[in-house]
Every structure is written in structure tokens, then in C-alpha cells.
């Protein structure tokens, strides 16, 4: 029961609302995009960003895995890319790093294929942000169908 008629200034009952605000976590490690593109018989460059910059050195592991593309130890028949993994080390104040994926030549005409990209094992004061996964799309070469005609004119004399 609330007693607001008293002159003593006390209130009994009622409710309380706590408002808690928080800033985004510092040192979120995340891909710069959800999809990257690379041309077959070239490389795909992937960018990882450190956002909400915090202090200190941090690192993050990256890895590739098969999506619709097939990885292999070397660019032989049926292999679309060379799998890669590693660690990106960010010094204090660094905000962006890249890694590359070797893309193999297409021997036959194929549609676009994808490679899965994953971040893991953040160290220092780092966290995995969003997106923490992405894809690398292999763009096949443009193949032109060539046709030509030869016109021969024979003249008999």
C-alpha cells in the first residue's frame, strides 16, 4: 500500500527501473564482408578487420574449407583452390589485415563456386565479431565462343 498522504516523505511499495547501458565490446575481429570474390587461376584476397579498437596486441586464426569448391594440395584436375589457414597478428592500433587464397585454373567450363571462410581462437582481448564466417566466390574465366566464316570465291578462266 502506498501512503502518499504522509508528510514524512516516505513511499512504500512502487517499483524501480534500472537502466543499464553498455558499449560494444572492444577488439571485435570480423570479416570485412560476408562475401569476397576471386578469379580462377589467380588469388582471392580476404580482409579481416579489428573494430571497436581496444588496446594491446591481439590475434585471430583463419581457415578455409570446401563450400561448393574442392580444395587440394596442388592445382590438379578437379581441384579448385589450395586450402589455407593461419594466424593474423594485429599490433596495438592496427585495424585491418589480409590473407590470400590460391585459386586454381578451371579446365572445363564451370559455374561460380564457393569456399567457406572461418575465424577462430581470438587471443589477447579480442572477440569474434559479426560476420565471423564468410564465403569466397571463385569467378570462372569468361569463355568466348568463336565463330568465323571463310568466303572463297573461285574464278575460272
Mean pLDDT of the chain, nearest integer: 84
pLDDT digits (tens, 9 = 90+) for 1-54: 444 444 555 555 665 555 554 455 678 999 999 999 999 999 999 999 999 877
CATH among 1.10.540.10, 2.60.40.2030, 3.90.1200.10, 1.20.1080.10 for 28-139 = 2.60.40.2030
Tell me what the mean pLDDT of segment 54-58 comes to. 87
Angstrom distance (rounded) from CA 127 to CA 32:
15
Grid cell for residue 94: 592496427
pLDDT band for 143, please (50, 70, 90 cuts).
Answer: low
In the chain, what percentage of residues exceed pLDDT 70? 75
113-123 vs 127-128, strand pairing mode: unpaired
CB within 8 A of 52, min separation 6: which ones? 23, 24, 25, 26, 27, 28
Domain boundaries, the chain: 28-139
Identify the CA nearest to 41 among candidates 141, 125, 155: 141
Looking at per-residue pLDDT, the higher value among 143 and 121 belongs to 121
Q: What is the pLDDT of residue 1?
A: 47
Residue 149 has pLDDT above 70, yes or no: no
Q: Which pTM value belongs to this model?
A: 0.75
Amino acid at each position: 500500500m502506498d501512503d502518499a498522504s504522509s508528510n514524512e516523505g516516505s513511499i512504500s511499495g512502487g517499483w524501480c527501473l534500472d537502466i543499464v547501458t553498455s558499449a560494444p565490446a572492444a577488439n571485435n575481429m570480423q570479416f570485412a564482408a560476408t562475401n569476397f570474390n576471386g578469379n580462377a587461376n589467380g588469388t582471392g584476397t580476404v580482409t579481416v578487420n579489428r573494430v571497436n579498437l581496444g588496446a594491446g596486441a591481439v590475434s585471430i586464426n583463419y581457415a578455409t574449407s570446401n563450400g561448393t569448391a574442392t580444395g587440394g594440395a596442388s592445382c590438379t584436375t578437379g581441384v579448385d583452390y589450395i586450402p589455407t589457414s593461419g594466424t593474423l597478428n594485429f599490433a596495438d592500433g592496427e585495424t585491418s589485415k589480409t590473407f590470400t587464397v590460391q585459386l586454381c585454373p578451371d579446365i572445363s567450363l564451370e559455374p561460380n563456386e564457393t569456399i567457406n571462410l572461418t575465424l577462430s581462437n581470438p587471443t589477447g582481448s579480442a572477440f569474434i565479431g559479426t560476420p565471423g564466417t564468410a564465403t569466397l566466390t571463385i569467378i570462372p574465366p569468361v569463355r568466348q565462343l568463336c565463330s568465323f566464316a571463310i568466303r572463297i570465291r573461285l574464278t575460272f578462266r
